[in-house]
Chain A
């Protein structure tokens, strides 16, 4: 059927900031959809508040709005643009929820706008628990017994009826927020209460627990001609009970016979047909391992994380095809973009095994609750492809980029058998490593099966890996054994741990015996049809399918899984580098392991190697492709970390070289550099003992910043104010004990400033200088960044520009450099230099209209910045004010303290852009999910050191008509200073107290600063957690509080008396 000609302009809704449960996959699907729609000749209007995405690039849509994703702003866009249709199914749950809200607001009727893809009815059928259950009942498809509840009592009544264990699932929430497993009444009370809170409709589903069933997913597509197909099915290694986003997943299913496969396929197709979805849909099913009984768990009537995974796993671009279906094309007339000879109406045939691993944030949040359940906790994921399960699995493990890339966690070795058994049942993020340890101890497989319900198929496979490991430990490493290990997916580093050889020895041995992988193509059809997709994975097989061209090539290393501190920003930079290389006529080759991203869309680069980002894996591609060199500066720390090994093995690093990287990252060398340039930096020293630390601290004066040397993303960094706190820090962290040096630096409070610059060694340009709202001490990724700067005078700015240029030249920077400064008492100090792309690149590129990664890539490849038409120094600043506001996923991470500090905690960012700072901030805060009320109340509970400053803020809120609540100490102080503070009791009181105030949603903001000691279970911690769990903004930096106060002040009109108490106010 031909595409529709009655619509011309389509509004696409993005998914907004990255949070747990909604990550880069929607950048990938959104970008694909926009491109597909434009390919078909439609005008695309895009709304997304996430500046870090490729999707919001000016090249992706005709008109891009980076405005808050709320009904208010979308209504304004609709009013202004008058689109004919709206496509909400590519923006995750955010997109769907907005579609429902827009429909209910009446705006779509007022300015006739048609909903494409999935009808509102279908969205509600799939999302509303009651309607969904009714539909399944009508279709004769089984769902677990359950009850819809709106109160805790209803939940208890249901439990009485069917017994425990039960699962609570809140309605309309992302990634299962607020849900969980309940084994007793106390669990049920607590989880239902929080679930009702999270659900925007105050509704939860209480369901019989079917934990232990196989969890199977089908990605299905349907067009308006009712033609429906399965793109991919997937099997979770972790059975039902652990959120699929947190499970290790394989594709295709491994333990299903054709009958089971077809039975579940039929059910999935029946559902997508019943929902009349025109596009993609995800169906999750639970299959009894002992019969043909199954249940439908969930249906997502939209593209999802799983569909991004399925797209990369099969090569079938679900979002692109879904967009084409939405405008009326049918599957049998859309060409298969992979083969280019066949059509999209087919089901991909895989001839490899795909494994997906979740990437958890617990390397950052060590105190967080790591137990896995129905609430997703992973921030990102990796995918690996192999010709056997073992190969795919081990490639996946080393793609995670933590824990030495090994299927081995040293801490497990110290656990007793019973501890291991307990942990393997309780299942936290380390479960698979605990399992490995049990296998190393030759624990009975059948018992492990009984405890975990992980299918015996997978247990046997994992055991094969461990058995070979044990064999390798005992035997001399022969050529045959080495080949066997490589075929099973062992990495050289893994072999280094197991054997007595070094990684380099093993590499040499392999080269001598010609043990190298070949590359196989992902072609959607198991080689049945000729295909020219430049999408490859490695395997120790016979035939080499990756044909090397005679063009000049460059390999760009991506950034691997999305994690805190290394997000989608780096994918943005990677993609732009690749595009620049293509423009320059190079063959641009990309290596990455993240299935969610745009960079791993095979149509972006000339060639995609979907591989782990380890030295070994990169070397294999280098050896085959023989590129001019490798670019490591866009892929975050993951890529930069490869520079050393690649240089050692004689590979050319294009752009800033290893020596410069080392001079910026090595503490001593860095200090020498700044000293030689006569650039001030906070005083500090490296220490190895407590006494030494105390001596240094007293010499430079408290407060001091303490951290282990060689840290990434502010990991384990803290500000301490006295000897006690210093001692506490050194005891808590084990660096001293392990004889690792700790850095003690003077903590300078002041305005933090961040600069991203590009240099070609001759000319350095600064597209923009950003200033942080929060003072230095809060990690730059967690601060609100403002462009252009608002509080810096010309002298300071000039000094920043000059320092940047000097550092760039001294380091011989070729490409990007990021420098963080603190302006302390009118002096500029350098805090940190990163000789690579930073997280602000996409934000800055978009607001300054300078595609920084493109220019940087040109500089890297030898073009002169001057020839591109730029002059050294700061480029002309834009007239609009833009702010980048961090977004956190604290709701999903129980037991994680929300206090902001030197360690980064945010998962994403939103943008606010307008004519004034206040307006921009307002939008940015709204876009980040903070509700800005114009009346209400604020709760203050601050540390002594902050009381004076807090008073001004409290006074400000009071003047705007807000009620002020405060805990005793704070209240006394405020009252003394003329603030009418309402005193509330501390936690534990029978009376109205801080917690009950939060629980009853009496207050709109909580301003809470950290008391000394940073104890995890302090009252402050409980207050902050309570606020998060009740969806109340908890402001832990007074700067943020002040900014919000200013925003409210400047965006509202107050009633101002002229006479007060018979006195005229002047």
Chain B
């Protein structure tokens, strides 16, 4: 069955339908990862977006039961050059097509995804519609306004505990990837996952030894309530932020964020850790970034930069044991070069515990 993808600028691509057959609007973005489509599709940060995979063969190893980053994928659509209908891998449980059908996610294959990627690169991220092919397109389709409530949609509604015998960490879920939880539990943390709109008091009441602010979808300025919360917790507990968490920490510390032209999405982004003078490959997925100039005059110190465009990839607070990165040290998918940041978080927690003890 034919299907089409219409971009805000009027460009139309016609291809084959797969996945769900509903019509869907969203922001069109591309990801350059050559593996990891299952993790990408289930990453809540893609809420509201239609993802184009630049690697042309997608679905080769099917979908398995292990590699999900959330229970309910919130991506709005998927665009590929070729869908694999006969996946081959020992963990394969179902085809990608079947998975998308079950989850109600529409998708399109058989289009020139490289052409699409170049359009996005040149014109910046824009809105797009996935729709039936035979539908008469009278003029430009009406695009609905860009969403602002993605975090609310993907964050957990109720707090829950992932018990462990180690440090007590409260994880504020703005659209958490399971990978973050995996890295914390690997370090024996006792994790309490709370909704994005938990207040500082509610969080501190849980007596956390560390607070983890996760990734999440959309514009950080759409989550003002989190900014108040962060300002209130930073003086008390070591904080580690990833992605949206990093942007929120920056906003809470007086810096500013901006929308990027087409963002960073992929598994090959080089980031230099200025504190150790080394470059690592990182997994990234963000459409907003902290403005580098806006760090001036704040209590934030630049610790990580993207070496290709000099954008801000990490900061730390000069007064408080707070640090954060724009990229994804939990990988899933992508390189696992920077998991040492979780160790650093553990160290910060230990140091804080020792100092608290000494203070007593």
Write the residues of chain A forming the contact surface with B, with a CB cutoff of 8 angstroms.
225-227, 229-230, 252-259, 261-262, 265-266, 269, 289-291, 330-332, 341-343, 345-353, 387-389, 455-457, 460, 520, 525-530, 541-543, 545
Residues of A within 8 A of B34 (CB): 252, 261, 349-350
Residue of A nearest to B60 (CB): A254
With A and B bound together, what is the CA distance between A458 and B88 in angstroms?
A: 9
B150 on the A face (CB < 8 A): no
Residues of A within 8 A of B91 (CB): 257
| B113 lies within 8 A of A351 (CB) | yes
CB<8 Å pairs between A and B, sample of 28: A225-B278, A227-B279, A227-B280, A256-B35, A257-B91, A258-B332, A259-B66, A261-B34, A261-B36, A291-B90, A343-B270, A346-B268, A346-B308, A347-B281, A349-B32, A349-B54, A349-B266, A349-B267, A387-B81, A456-B88, A525-B32, A526-B32, A526-B55, A526-B117, A527-B118, A528-B32, A528-B54, A528-B117
The main secondary structure of chain B at its interface with chain A is loop
Count how many pairs of residues, one from A and one from B, have CB atoms less than 8 Å apart in the complex: 152
Residues of A within 8 A of B250 (CB): none
Known: A257-B89, A346-B270, A460-B88. Contact between A388 and B82, CB under 8 A?
yes
| B88 lies within 8 A of A455 (CB) | yes
Residue of A nearest to B54 (CB): A526
B124 on the A face (CB < 8 A): no
Give, as a whole number of angstroms, the nearest-CB distance from A276 to chain B: 15
| B335 lies within 8 A of A265 (CB) | yes
With A and B bound together, what is the CA distance between A202 and B127 in angstroms?
A: 67
Residue among B268, B279, B331 facing the most chain A CB atoms (10 A cut-off) = B279
Give, as a whole number of angstroms, the nearest-CB distance from A519 to chain B: 11
Residues of A within 8 A of B36 (CB): 257-258, 261
Known: A345-B307, A460-B88. Contact between A543 and B118, CB under 8 A?
yes
With A and B bound together, what is the CA distance between A227 and B335 in angstroms?
A: 13
B3 on the A face (CB < 8 A): no
Q: Which of B61, B117, B281, B334 contacts A346 (CB 8 A)?
A: B281
B132 on the A face (CB < 8 A): no
Residue of B nearest to A530 (CB): B121
Residue of B nearest to A256 (CB): B35
B162 on the A face (CB < 8 A): no
B57 on the A face (CB < 8 A): yes
With A and B bound together, what is the CA distance between A241 and B115 in angstroms?
A: 40
With A and B bound together, what is the CA distance between A290 and B88 in angstroms?
A: 11
With A and B bound together, what is the CA distance between A526 and B81 in angstroms?
A: 13
Known: A349-B266, A351-B56. Contact between A262 and B331, CB under 8 A?
yes
With A and B bound together, what is the CA distance between A460 and B84 in angstroms?
A: 10
Residues of A within 8 A of B272 (CB): 332
B39 on the A face (CB < 8 A): yes
Residue of A nearest to B277 (CB): A225
Residues of B within 8 A of A289 (CB): 90
The main secondary structure of chain A at its interface with chain B is loop
B350 on the A face (CB < 8 A): no
B236 on the A face (CB < 8 A): no
With A and B bound together, what is the CA distance between A1010 and B117 in angstroms?
A: 65
| A258 lies within 8 A of B39 (CB) | yes
Q: How large is the interface on B (under 10, 10 to 19, 20 to 34, 35 or more residues)?
A: 35 or more
Residue of B nearest to A251 (CB): B34
Residues of B within 8 A of A255 (CB): 60-61, 88-89
Q: Which of A230, A345, A350 contacts B55 (CB 8 A)?
A: A350
B70 on the A face (CB < 8 A): no
| B121 lies within 8 A of A527 (CB) | yes
Give, as a whole number of angstroms, the nearest-CB distance from B285 to chain A: 13
B64 on the A face (CB < 8 A): yes
Residue among A331, A347, A456, A520 facing the most chain B CB atoms (10 A cut-off) = A347
Contact with A along B304-337 (1 / 0, CB 8 A): 0001100000000000000000000001111111
B87 on the A face (CB < 8 A): yes
Residues of A within 8 A of B215 (CB): none
Q: Which of B32, B87, B277, B333 contacts A258 (CB 8 A)?
A: B333
| B60 lies within 8 A of A457 (CB) | yes
Beyond the given pairs A351-B56, A457-B60, 9 more chain A to chain B contacts, judged by CB atoms under 8 angstroms and listed by A's residue number, are: A230-B281, A252-B34, A257-B61, A289-B90, A346-B270, A349-B54, A388-B57, A457-B87, A543-B112
Contact with A along B109-122 (1 / 0, CB 8 A): 00111110110010
| B115 lies within 8 A of A262 (CB) | no
Residues of B within 8 A of A387 (CB): 56, 81-82, 114
| B56 lies within 8 A of A388 (CB) | yes
Residues of B within 8 A of A457 (CB): 60, 84, 86-88
Residues of B within 8 A of A545 (CB): 114
| A290 lies within 8 A of B81 (CB) | no
With A and B bound together, what is the CA distance between A382 and B58 in angstroms?
A: 25
Give, as a whole number of angstroms, the nearest-CB distance from A330 to chain B: 8
Residues of B within 8 A of A343 (CB): 270, 307-308
| B38 lies within 8 A of A257 (CB) | yes
Give, as a whole number of angstroms, the nearest-CB distance from A227 to chain B: 5
Residue of A nearest to B262 (CB): A528
Known: A332-B307, A343-B270, A456-B86. Contact between A351 and B67, CB under 8 A?
no
| A229 lies within 8 A of B281 (CB) | yes
Residues of B within 8 A of A455 (CB): 88
| A345 lies within 8 A of B270 (CB) | yes
| B86 lies within 8 A of A262 (CB) | no
Known: A291-B90, A345-B270, A529-B308. Contact between A352 and B56, CB under 8 A?
yes
With A and B bound together, what is the CA distance between A395 and B88 in angstroms?
A: 24
Residue of A nearest to B113 (CB): A351
Report B141-190 residues with CB < 8 Å from chain A CB. none
Give, as a whole number of angstroms, the nearest-CB distance from A234 to chain B: 12
Q: Which of B33, B66, B115 contacts A349 (CB 8 A)?
A: B33
Report B243-260 residues with CB < 8 Å from chain A CB. none
With A and B bound together, what is the CA distance between A545 and B115 in angstroms?
A: 9
| A258 lies within 8 A of B86 (CB) | no
Residues of B within 8 A of A291 (CB): 90
Known: A343-B270, A347-B268, A528-B117. Contact between A254 and B57, CB under 8 A?
yes
Residues of B within 8 A of A526 (CB): 32, 54-55, 114, 117, 266
Residues of A within 8 A of B337 (CB): 269
Report B17-69 residues with CB < 8 Å from chain A CB. 30, 32-36, 38-39, 54-57, 60-61, 64, 66-67
Residues of B within 8 A of A261 (CB): 34-36
Residues of B within 8 A of A227 (CB): 278-280
B269 on the A face (CB < 8 A): yes
With A and B bound together, what is the CA distance between A266 and B57 in angstroms?
A: 24
